Structure 1
Amino acid sequence: MTPAQSRAARGLISITQAELAKAAGLGQSTVIDFEKERRVVSPQAIDAIRAALEAAGVEFIPENGGGAGVRLRK
Protein backbone atom coordinates (compact mmCIF):
# COMPACT_ATOMS: atom_id res chain seq x y z
CA MET A 1 0.00 0.00 0.00
CA THR A 2 1.26 3.45 -0.89
CA PRO A 3 0.75 6.70 1.02
CA ALA A 4 -1.43 7.94 -1.87
CA GLN A 5 -3.62 4.84 -1.60
CA SER A 6 -4.05 5.47 2.12
CA ARG A 7 -5.11 9.08 1.52
CA ALA A 8 -7.50 8.05 -1.26
CA ALA A 9 -8.99 5.27 0.84
CA ARG A 10 -9.66 7.64 3.72
CA GLY A 11 -11.37 9.97 1.28
CA LEU A 12 -13.62 7.19 0.02
CA ILE A 13 -14.85 6.32 3.49
CA SER A 14 -14.70 9.87 4.90
CA ILE A 15 -12.50 9.27 7.93
CA THR A 16 -9.80 11.47 9.42
CA GLN A 17 -6.21 10.53 10.08
CA ALA A 18 -7.07 10.43 13.79
CA GLU A 19 -9.93 8.00 13.19
CA LEU A 20 -7.73 5.79 11.01
CA ALA A 21 -4.97 5.80 13.62
CA LYS A 22 -7.43 4.74 16.33
CA ALA A 23 -8.87 1.96 14.15
CA ALA A 24 -5.36 0.75 13.33
CA GLY A 25 -4.17 0.93 16.94
CA LEU A 26 -1.47 3.45 16.05
CA GLY A 27 -0.52 6.97 16.99
CA GLN A 28 -1.91 9.70 14.77
CA SER A 29 1.65 10.87 14.03
CA THR A 30 2.43 7.49 12.45
CA VAL A 31 -0.47 7.82 10.01
CA ILE A 32 0.42 11.44 9.24
CA ASP A 33 4.09 10.63 8.69
CA PHE A 34 3.21 7.69 6.43
CA GLU A 35 0.72 9.62 4.31
CA LYS A 36 3.00 12.65 3.98
CA GLU A 37 6.05 10.43 3.37
CA ARG A 38 7.93 12.21 6.16
CA ARG A 39 9.61 9.03 7.36
CA VAL A 40 9.62 5.33 6.72
CA VAL A 41 7.14 3.59 9.01
CA SER A 42 7.37 -0.06 9.96
CA PRO A 43 5.84 -2.75 7.76
CA GLN A 44 3.68 -3.71 10.77
CA ALA A 45 2.25 -0.19 10.93
CA ILE A 46 1.48 -0.21 7.20
CA ASP A 47 -0.21 -3.60 7.60
CA ALA A 48 -2.30 -2.21 10.48
CA ILE A 49 -3.35 0.82 8.43
CA ARG A 50 -4.28 -1.38 5.49
CA ALA A 51 -6.23 -3.82 7.69
CA ALA A 52 -8.20 -0.96 9.25
CA LEU A 53 -9.07 0.46 5.84
CA GLU A 54 -10.08 -2.96 4.50
CA ALA A 55 -12.25 -3.56 7.58
CA ALA A 56 -14.01 -0.28 6.74
CA GLY A 57 -14.84 -1.49 3.22
CA VAL A 58 -11.89 -0.41 1.10
CA GLU A 59 -10.45 -2.72 -1.55
CA PHE A 60 -6.91 -2.15 -2.79
CA ILE A 61 -6.24 -2.47 -6.51
CA PRO A 62 -2.76 -3.82 -7.27
CA GLU A 63 -0.30 -2.25 -9.68
CA ASN A 64 -1.06 -3.89 -13.02
CA GLY A 65 0.25 -1.45 -15.55
CA GLY A 66 -2.70 0.87 -15.04
CA GLY A 67 -1.58 2.07 -11.64
CA ALA A 68 -2.38 1.04 -8.11
CA GLY A 69 -5.62 2.32 -6.65
CA VAL A 70 -8.49 1.88 -4.21
CA ARG A 71 -12.23 1.35 -4.46
CA LEU A 72 -15.14 0.47 -2.23
CA ARG A 73 -15.92 -3.20 -1.88
CA LYS A 74 -19.25 -4.17 -3.44
Structure 2
Amino acid sequence: MATPAQIRAARALLGITVDQLSAKSGISAFLILQTEAEEQANVDPATLHALKLALQASGILFIGDGDSPPGGVGVRFAERDDEEDGVRPEDLNAANDD
Protein backbone atom coordinates (compact mmCIF):
# COMPACT_ATOMS: atom_id res chain seq x y z
CA MET A 1 0.00 0.00 0.00
CA ALA A 2 1.17 3.53 -0.72
CA THR A 3 1.89 5.93 2.12
CA PRO A 4 0.83 9.58 2.40
CA ALA A 5 4.49 10.57 2.02
CA GLN A 6 4.73 8.58 -1.22
CA ILE A 7 1.61 10.31 -2.56
CA ARG A 8 3.13 13.73 -1.75
CA ALA A 9 6.46 12.75 -3.31
CA ALA A 10 4.87 11.29 -6.44
CA ARG A 11 2.79 14.40 -7.03
CA ALA A 12 5.87 16.58 -6.56
CA LEU A 13 7.92 14.39 -8.91
CA LEU A 14 5.30 14.77 -11.62
CA GLY A 15 4.97 18.49 -10.94
CA ILE A 16 1.17 18.32 -10.85
CA THR A 17 -1.22 20.29 -8.69
CA VAL A 18 -3.73 18.89 -6.24
CA ASP A 19 -6.48 19.87 -8.68
CA GLN A 20 -4.80 17.94 -11.49
CA LEU A 21 -4.45 14.84 -9.31
CA SER A 22 -8.08 15.26 -8.29
CA ALA A 23 -9.15 15.20 -11.94
CA LYS A 24 -7.04 12.10 -12.62
CA SER A 25 -8.14 10.17 -9.52
CA GLY A 26 -11.71 11.26 -8.85
CA ILE A 27 -10.70 12.15 -5.28
CA SER A 28 -11.53 15.68 -4.11
CA ALA A 29 -8.66 18.16 -3.82
CA PHE A 30 -9.54 18.70 -0.16
CA LEU A 31 -9.33 14.96 0.58
CA ILE A 32 -5.99 14.73 -1.26
CA LEU A 33 -4.57 17.53 0.90
CA GLN A 34 -5.90 15.81 4.03
CA THR A 35 -4.42 12.48 2.92
CA GLU A 36 -1.00 13.97 2.18
CA ALA A 37 -0.93 15.61 5.63
CA GLU A 38 -2.06 12.55 7.62
CA GLU A 39 -0.22 9.76 9.33
CA GLN A 40 -0.57 6.33 7.68
CA ALA A 41 -2.92 4.94 10.35
CA ASN A 42 -5.52 7.68 9.81
CA VAL A 43 -5.88 7.39 6.03
CA ASP A 44 -8.64 5.52 4.22
CA PRO A 45 -7.02 2.65 2.27
CA ALA A 46 -9.47 3.11 -0.62
CA THR A 47 -8.37 6.75 -1.01
CA LEU A 48 -4.70 5.76 -1.03
CA HIS A 49 -5.41 3.04 -3.58
CA ALA A 50 -7.25 5.42 -5.93
CA LEU A 51 -4.46 8.00 -5.69
CA LYS A 52 -1.80 5.34 -6.25
CA LEU A 53 -3.56 4.06 -9.39
CA ALA A 54 -3.85 7.58 -10.82
CA LEU A 55 -0.18 8.31 -10.14
CA GLN A 56 0.93 4.97 -11.60
CA ALA A 57 -1.06 5.76 -14.75
CA SER A 58 0.94 9.00 -14.93
CA GLY A 59 4.25 7.14 -14.93
CA ILE A 60 5.15 6.74 -11.25
CA LEU A 61 6.56 3.54 -9.77
CA PHE A 62 5.93 2.97 -6.06
CA ILE A 63 8.80 1.28 -4.21
CA GLY A 64 7.93 -0.76 -1.14
CA ASP A 65 10.09 -1.18 1.95
CA GLY A 66 12.90 -3.55 1.03
CA ASP A 67 12.07 -3.57 -2.70
CA SER A 68 15.19 -1.59 -3.55
CA PRO A 69 18.02 -2.37 -1.12
CA PRO A 70 19.31 -0.68 0.92
CA GLY A 71 16.54 1.95 0.87
CA GLY A 72 13.04 2.11 2.23
CA VAL A 73 9.78 3.16 0.63
CA GLY A 74 9.85 5.73 -2.15
CA VAL A 75 8.75 6.66 -5.65
CA ARG A 76 10.47 7.12 -8.98
CA PHE A 77 9.59 7.47 -12.62
CA ALA A 78 8.70 4.19 -14.27
CA GLU A 79 10.60 3.38 -17.45
CA ARG A 80 9.01 4.84 -20.54
CA ASP A 81 9.38 3.55 -24.08
CA ASP A 82 8.86 6.97 -25.65
CA GLU A 83 11.99 8.57 -24.21
CA GLU A 84 15.27 8.84 -26.05
CA ASP A 85 18.35 7.44 -24.40
CA GLY A 86 20.04 10.82 -24.75
CA VAL A 87 23.68 11.48 -25.51
CA ARG A 88 26.37 9.52 -23.71
CA PRO A 89 28.80 11.71 -21.74
CA GLU A 90 31.75 10.79 -23.94
CA ASP A 91 29.80 11.97 -27.00
CA LEU A 92 28.95 15.42 -25.60
CA ASN A 93 30.48 18.35 -27.48
CA ALA A 94 29.63 21.86 -28.64
CA ALA A 95 27.90 20.50 -31.76
CA ASN A 96 25.19 18.76 -29.73
CA ASP A 97 24.73 21.49 -27.11
CA ASP A 98 21.19 22.77 -26.72
Q: Give TM-score scaled by structure 1 length.
A: 0.89
Identical positions, percent: 39
What's the C-alpha RMSD, in Å, of the aligned pairs? 1.7
* Aligned-partner Cα distance in 1 for 2:44–2:23: 17
Shift of 1:72: 0.2
| One-letter code aligned to 2:76 | R
Task: Identify unmatched segments of 5+ residues in structure 2.
Answer: 80-98
- Bigger Cα Rg: 2
What corresponds to 2:73 in structure 1?
68
Task: Identify unmatched segments of 5+ residues in structure 1.
Answer: none
What corresponds to 1:9 in structure 2?
10
Task: Give runs of aligned pairs for residues 33-44 of structure 1, distance below 5 A.
Answer: 33-37=34-38, 40-44=42-46
How many residue pairs get matched? 74
Q: Give TM-score scaled by structure 2 length.
A: 0.69
Shift of 1:21: 1.4
